[in-house]
């Protein structure tokens, strides 16, 4: 079922309600208290069964999330910080291209490495 009210859309997917904000005005109002109203969906397959529930992408807002985000921003939050990874990116890009040249029909397998 889908309900639309102004800039807010409510959708029920697989038994779970999801609220979508589609208005800058509504977003500004909610953003003032976003830590109260925001949360992330609990993904049983990716989070619980596979074991990614404690990663930055899937943990709920709270002290752990803020701690992870602070460390991530320090590591990857600026152009200068990202420059340290350039040699590794070049090296891995070359390795990927060599794999593609040797096995051009195996894109998925080559990407997984």
pLDDT reading at 96 higher than 90:
yes
The predicted structure's pLDDT at residue 40: 67
The predicted structure's pLDDT at residue 93: 95
Average pLDDT over the chain reads 82
3-state secondary structure the chain: CEEEECCEEEEEECCEEEEEECCHHHHHHHHCCHHHHCCCCCCHHHHHHCCCCCCCCCCCCCHHHHHHHHHHHHHHCCHHHHHCCHHHHHHHHHHHHHHHHHCCCCHHHHHHC
Encode pLDDT of 3-47 as tens digits.
566 778 888 887 888 888 888 888 787 777 766 666 666 677 666
| Model confidence pTM above 0.85 | no
Counted domains in the chain: 1
Judge whether 68 lies within some domain. Answer: no
Judge whether 24 lies within some domain. Answer: yes
Q: How confident is the model at residue 88 (pLDDT cuts 50, 70, 90)?
A: very high
Q: Residue 4 is part of which domain span?
A: 1-38
């Amino acid at each position: 079922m889908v309900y639309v009210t102004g800039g807010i859309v409510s959708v029920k997917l697989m038994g779970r309600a999801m609220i979508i904000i589609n208005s800058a005005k509504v977003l500004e109002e909610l953003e003032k208290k976003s830590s109260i109203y925001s949360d992330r969906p609990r993904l049983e397959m990716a989070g619980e069964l596979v074991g990614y529930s404690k990663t930055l992408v899937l943990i709920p807002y709270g002290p752990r999330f803020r701690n992870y985000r602070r460390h991530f921003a320090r590591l990857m939050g600026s152009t200068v910080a990202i420059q340290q990874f350039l040699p590794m990116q070049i090296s891995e890009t070359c390795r990927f291209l060599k794999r593609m040249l040797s096995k051009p029909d195996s894109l998925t397998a080559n990407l997984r490495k």
